[in-house]
Amino acid sequence: MCHNVGAKAIIVSNHGGRQLDQVPATIQALPEIVEAVGNSMEVYLDGGIRYGTDVFKAIGLGAKYVFVGRAALWG
């Protein structure tokens, strides 16, 4: 639907860190979303990134960009 209205990218996010029970984490939802949009738009990931390796995982699963909001807090 986003592509049909002209969006160039989609952000997979966990709404500010408020993870709900029984809801997949952003990194778990990412592969299915990447597959669904194919090459029609870029997919960005935001949420759940604590380590540099998390960034590599997200890129490996198809994210074009990874947003890191708390890097300074993790050292």
List the catalytic residues.
15
Higher pLDDT, 61 or 17: 61
What pLDDT is stored for residue 6 in this prediction?
87
pLDDT 10s digits, 32-70: 999 999 999 999 999 888 888 999 999 999 999 999 877
Query: In the block, which residue shows the tokens 């969006």?
Result: 7
CA distance 66 to 51: 12
Position with higher pLDDT, 75 vs 13: 13
User: At the top level of CATH, which class does the domain 3-73 belong to?
Assistant: alpha beta
Burial class for 51, CB neighbours closer than 10 Å (0-12, 13-18, 19+):
exposed
| Domain definitions of the chain by residue range | 3-73
Q: What is residue 17's predicted lDDT score, i.e. its pLDDT?
A: 58
Is the overall model pTM greater than 0.85, yes or no? no
